[in-house]
């Protein structure tokens, strides 16, 4: 091999290593970006929840792992009497100053066990 060919091979290897390093750094930067907080009106779901406490202004629900969630309710929520003690429900809600009720439905059998 002559000197020019060896220099070209070395430059190619160095360029490849630099390109791989830059790619890895870009992937790490993208992975480390945390999502921005949800703006008001964004939807979220609380699945497999049991009603622990309910009043006209607030509700406390608990999942299968005994993690309680306390929510301040707005006027969109149904009356507390519509919820039964042993029901396991999926709640579809909107964010805001207070939780906005969109709908609920009975949790599927397989999600209750998770």
pTM attached to this predicted model: 0.62
| Pick from 32-41, 82-91, 94-103: least confident | 32-41
φ/ψ of 96, rounded to 5, equals 160, -165
CATH topology of domain 43-112: OB fold (Dihydrolipoamide Acetyltransferase, E2P) (2.40.50)
Assess whether pLDDT exceeds 90 at residue 113: no
Provide DSSP, 37-96.
PPPTT-EEEEEEEEEEEE-SSEEEEE-TT--EEEEEB-TTSPPGGGS-TT--EEEEEE-S
| Beta-carbon contacts of residue 95 (< 8 Å; ≥ 6 apart) | 38, 39, 40, 41, 42, 43, 44
* Higher per-residue pLDDT: 49 or 34: 49
Task: Note the pLDDT of residue 28.
Answer: 86
Average pLDDT of 28-54? Answer: 80
Domain extents in the chain: 1-34, 43-112
Mean pLDDT in residue range 57-84: 94
pLDDT at 36 over 70: no
What is the chain's mean pLDDT, rounded? 87
């Amino acid at each position: 091999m002559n000197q020019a060919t060896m220099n070209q091979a070395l430059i190619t290897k160095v360029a490849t290593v630099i390109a791989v390093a830059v790619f890895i750094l870009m992937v790490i930067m993208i992975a480390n970006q945390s999502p921005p907080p949800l703006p008001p009106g964004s939807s979220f779901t609380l699945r497999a929840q049991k009603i622990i406490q309910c009043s006209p202004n607030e509700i406390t629900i608990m999942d299968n792992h005994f993690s309680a969630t306390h929510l301040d309710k707005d006027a969109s929520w149904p009356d507390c009497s519509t919820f039964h003690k042993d029901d396991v429900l999926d709640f579809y809600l909107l964010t805001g100053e207070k939780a906005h009720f969109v709908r609920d439905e009975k949790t599927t059998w397989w999600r209750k066990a998770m």
